[in-house]
Chains A and B, each alone.
Chain A
């Protein structure tokens, strides 16, 4: 086995022969790979995958087929929990809330991160480097802490809004303003992360492309709009998928801000908050499982359809 370090590298004239055997070796490897070597490497992950992804999903589905009443005990109920969920105003309003929220917050996040990335990509100053890090910093802050911090800043007791606006200061967690209050927290938390992904993709573009456009008389904003954005469309799709998945399972921020919102954040504000409270406040694990499973399936199908559509469009753009 010691040959690895000491064996001479294949040099000509034998090089041609080595390459040839190398190719044959590839084929042989693939045939040998048909054995179990690949599975040996995959096995540890596969076990965790089965135990903590497939297992809980199937188990959630199983649990969701039963009801558990105090008097009746556990009882097979078929799809009754699902028909209950889809007629439950609390669940439906939660779904409606996250859908509305996604429609507003995702474009806001994408615009902020895209604008920031485009500007950063066009600058080389030290201040730009510094700004890039500062914009990214919220990603390193746990969502709980972020929500607590914004809760302080919104607070009429010791937040700065009161000092800026005086008595008439808006309380961003009041029923009327809640939507904007939460949009702000989520945008602040995630825009920097998206910005970094977009920025990395922009940096990967060959500058010669811009050169050609500039020779054709293109202005900076034209280059941004017609060259840069189309060339990073796969990064944008990736971010969009993350944002959709993340927004539909919205949980941490409303759950953390709930106690200080004076009741405008309810225990059914999003499907996840609702499922959590059903399970851990009211011990309705069967119904909560049905909601978790329904949410998981809806998100999965939604994202899958979206990816399918954008894949075609992406191919068309190229």
Chain B
């Protein structure tokens, strides 16, 4: 950037400085920027819009809608579709939804607890093997998790844990990136002086951790929890590999099962396409609600890892 190019510019700049904040955000409408955003929003929302519209159509209207795939049809069958969804095959969909919740929260809460403890250890203690363990951890962030799925399956089948909830929950508790985030956050977010003060006052290590460190780690905890719950909820490869009983499927594998059956026309008189559409809509509502409700926490938290 060159030095001031003209005195007029310099005047403007001084003016701008005097006027402070208001001048910094020019009051132009920024039409171009807003158009660009509008275009992006249309693109990113398009499949969702399709999903909402398609959920309201009757099985016949899904394929043959007078107003096209992206607009509502003549009939409004959302509630019929929902009741079919929840009763089809003895309500298997609700089971899948429950399984997803169980796996996501079991795996996510487990991963978060482990990450909080391990991140605190890395940030605040000097123990033998610390450098080596941390190097291992950073290496683990780079290991593609899907490379572990097939050997994990074979291992679990040898201890007869495949086709149980544990086969999904236990491996989901592994979150090297979560530990890394917790370490980075705790190193600065929890001052050493405060911990030392607590220790001086006679608090043991665990009391220091629970009463002093833990409350300060809250923003990072929410972020890691959200990321690991979402990660497990969205996981497909692992449950697909380790589960074979459809009663145990999470929603992702279940919807995919329907998709395979729908292609083969195996719905037994029910339009599986309608079920897939409505089932997809219902399954994404909890996560979108969680993200919108918790945005205060995760928006700040997501930057933790990138600032270091």
Contact = CB atoms under 8 A, between A and B. Distances in A.
Q: Are both chains from one complex?
A: yes
Interface of A: 1, 3-4, 7, 10, 18, 21-22, 25-26, 29-30, 33-42, 44-46, 48-49, 51-53, 55-57, 59-60, 63, 112, 115-116, 119-120, 122-125, 127-128, 130-131, 133-146, 148-153, 157-160, 163, 188, 191-192, 196-197, 200-201, 203-204, 207, 210-211, 213-218, 222, 226, 232, 234-235, 238-239, 241, 245, 248-249, 251-252, 255-256, 259-260, 272, 275-276, 279-280, 285, 288-289, 292-293, 295-296, 299-300, 303-304, 307
A49 B140 contact: yes
> Which are the 9 A-B pairs with shortest beta-carbon distances?
A38-B125, A38-B127, A200-B303, A296-B147, A235-B306, A41-B121, A45-B118, A60-B151, A56-B151
Interface residues of B, number: 125
Nearest to B304: A200
B20 to A, nearest CB: 10
Given A143-B234, A214-B13, A295 B147 contact: yes
Given A52-B170, A216-B4, A292-B149, A197 B302 contact: yes
A248 B13 contact: no
A277 B7 CA distance: 70
A292 B154 contact: no
Contacts of B256: 144, 148, 256
B89 interface: no
A112 B36 CA distance: 11
Nearest to B13: A215
B46 interface: yes
Contacts of A52: 148, 152, 170-171, 173-174
A248 B145 CA distance: 11
A133 B117 contact: no
B145 A249 contact: yes
Contacts of A191: 44
Nearest to A187: B43
B141 to A, nearest CB: 8
B279 to A, nearest CB: 9
A4 B208 CA distance: 9
B197 interface: yes
A35 B287 CA distance: 43
A149 B204 contact: no
A95 to B, nearest CB: 13
Nearest to B5: A217
A148 B255 contact: yes
Given A41-B125, A215-B17, A292-B147, A158 B118 contact: no
Interface string B266-282: 00000000001100100
28 contacts: A33-B126, A42-B121, A52-B148, A56-B151, A56-B152, A57-B148, A119-B37, A120-B37, A127-B38, A134-B45, A135-B41, A142-B252, A143-B236, A144-B236, A144-B252, A144-B256, A152-B69, A158-B63, A215-B4, A215-B13, A216-B4, A218-B1, A222-B1, A234-B306, A249-B147, A251-B237, A259-B263, A280-B241
Given A42-B122, A133-B292, 19 more contacts: A38-B124, A42-B127, A52-B148, A60-B151, A116-B37, A116-B40, A137-B288, A138-B44, A141-B288, A142-B251, A149-B48, A152-B54, A200-B302, A235-B303, A245-B142, A251-B236, A276-B241, A296-B144, A299-B142
A44 B145 contact: no
A259 B128 contact: no
Among B1, B33, B63, B204, which residue has the most Cβ atoms of chain A within 10 A? B1
Given A53-B140, A133-B292, A149-B280, A45 B117 contact: yes
Contacts of B192: 26
A153 B68 CA distance: 12
Contacts of B25: 124
B174 A197 contact: no
B84 interface: no
Contact of A144 (B174, B255, B303): B255
A148 B280 contact: yes
B28 to A, nearest CB: 11
Contacts of B187: none
Contacts of B290: 140
Contact of B147 (A60, A133, A222, A307): A60
Contacts of B305: 238
A39 B144 contact: no
A45 B43 CA distance: 40
Contact of A201 (B33, B126, B291, B307): B307
A55 B155 contact: yes
B259 A259 contact: yes
Nearest to B254: A144
A20 to B, nearest CB: 12
B260 interface: yes
B307 A60 contact: no
A145 B170 contact: no
A277 to B, nearest CB: 11
Nearest to A119: B33
A293 B202 contact: no
Contact of B151 (A57, A128, A163, A304): A57
